[in-house]
C-alpha cells in the first residue's frame, strides 16, 4: 500500500470526521433559502423556479412604477414565492 493510500484511508476513517450527531449542537438561528436573480418575474420563471425548489427571487428591474410593483408581488405570491430584494 502506498503512503497516499494509507493517508487517504486514515482521513476517510469515521473517527477523523465529526458528524452532526452531537445533541449539544446549537441549531442555526435561521433557515437558508434557495433564490435566484431575474430581471422581472414572469409566470414562466415562477413556475420553473418553484418546481426546482426555489423559495424566491431577487429582482434587478428596480425602475418600476409604484402601480406595477404590487402586480409583480401578486404574481410571485401566486406561486408561493417571494421577492427577497430589488437590486
Q: Which residues contact residue 40 at a Cβ distance below 8 angstroms, ignoring those fewer than 6 apart?
A: 59, 61, 64, 72
Domain count, the chain: 1
Q: Residue 17: inside a domain, yes or no?
A: no
Tell whether the model's pLDDT for residue 36 goes beyond 90. yes
* Percentage of residues of the chain with pLDDT beyond 70: 71
Q: Residue 59: inside a domain, yes or no?
A: yes
Closest CA to 50 of 26, 75, 81, 25: 81
Q: Residue 19: inside a domain, yes or no?
A: no
Q: Residue 66: inside a domain, yes or no?
A: yes
49-81, pLDDT tens digit by residue? 999 999 999 999 989 999 999 999 999 999 999
pTM: 0.63
Domain membership of residue 31 as a residue range: 27-86
Amino acid at each position: 500500500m502506498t503512503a497516499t493510500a494509507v493517508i487517504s484511508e486514515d482521513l476517510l476513517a469515521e473517527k477523523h470526521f465529526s458528524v452532526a450527531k452531537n445533541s449539544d449542537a446549537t441549531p442555526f438561528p435561521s433557515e437558508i433559502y434557495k433564490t435566484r436573480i431575474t430581471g422581472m418575474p414572469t409566470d414562466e420563471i415562477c413556475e420553473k423556479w418553484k418546481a426546482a425548489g426555489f423559495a424566491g427571487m431577487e429582482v434587478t428591474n428596480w425602475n418600476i412604477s409604484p402601480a406595477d410593483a404590487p402586480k409583480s408581488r401578486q404574481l410571485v405570491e401566486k406561486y408561493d414565492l417571494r421577492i427577497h430584494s430589488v437590486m
